Structure 1
Amino acid sequence: MSFDPDRVETITFDSYSTIVDVDAAESALADRVDDPEPVSKLWRARSLEYTFVANEIDAYQPFYEMNRDALQHALDAHGVDLSTAERDEILAVYHELDVFDDVREGIERLRAGGYDCYVVSNGNPDMLASMVEHADIADLLADTISADEVETFKPRAELYRHAAARTGTPIDEIAHVTAAWFDVMGAQHAGMQGVWADRKASPWEPFDGEPDLTVESLFELADALGV
């Protein structure tokens, strides 16, 4: 597929791994786990896997609860025994993850170019409120849209269609920006243009087409839109 800037009226952003860096959660494990990297990676992987399974078996619960269950599994799998209070302290890092350097200035350029900007995320409303505050982008966003509103997770088309309705934009006039390959595919399947924020020079998934646009930063998206 190829990106069509003339069709873009609204821009939606994923949150985790797109605006804030989930890899920074590893630092919250460092004081309590001898080898935090594999625990952190399993934690993130399981939290996403739980959302995929929940979609198929109608087992929705807010993403913060999914994340808590995933963290407990990762700790158990690596033989780490922590108290509930310690686990919750680790989990709370999701309220203050590191913000990517290009986020505020990149969204400022897009807003100055006339694009309404939204966050569309699996995160529940409290998570998104703290993320937006920590990232200092509340003044740049028209709104945040949570999977909690429809009780289904990405990459279900229902969530993207709900987001389009909430923005008041025809779905084919939205560009969705995300670091998650499955989120790109979900947005495209629902009718949006999919913009892959590939900050880590990762290989693309080969089995079902390609993103409409791949960028290393939000500045490149602004360039592609001519703003």
Structure 2
Amino acid sequence: MSDFANLSAKDFNPFLSFSGHRCCQVFHFGVVPYQEALAWQRSRVAKCKLDPALEDTLLLLEHPPVYTLGQGSDTRFLKFDPACSPVEVVRIERGGEVTYHCPGQLVGYPILNLAYYQKDLHWYLRQLEEVIIRVLAEYHLQGSRIPGLTGVWVEGYKVAAIGIKVSRWITMHGFALNVCPDLSGFQAIVPCGISDRPVGSLEQFVPGIQMSQVRQQVAIAFADVFQVQLIEA
């Protein structure tokens, strides 16, 4: 369990003082098998559909090695036979192509009701990118967007991937920020279907970077960008 789990609500006071903002529960589950996190998301989304007034949630966690493919992704972006893969391969309902998750990569799953924000998927994607860009700025790194693509790059390296699913304006899936992972797993795929842009990590630019610190910064940036009141779950 990281230091984030020991933070109290007072640590987020600058973002709790706004009146009339949505509450957002923040969960940290450590390293969680992908299927368990997926089941948790689906269960929460189902509850939110039944009761749209439920508070929002943000899951911050890591996964054991796993490849995930969006619902319409092309298997030609896999450089191996998925039937013979030693690493789990999962096709899911998010958009986008294949990506890779592993320890050292911070994954965020916001479950938000966009009816309380903006009913605009492009807006939502840009907001998620903005969260990452603000975190990078804490390390004096310039996060950039590339027109026509989704994600965040630093000096030409893609450090954050984003893939979402929205149903009845309730979101699931989210973003993956490469903090200090073993990037070798990306060599077996064409990440996000983009063959001409390399994948990178924050550790390349900030040696010794700590996951626990990045996790805190992501939570604070998320609260700032979406103007929510963070509640430690």
Query: TM-score normalized by structure 2?
Result: 0.24
Query: TM-score normalized by structure 1?
Result: 0.24
Higher helix share: 1
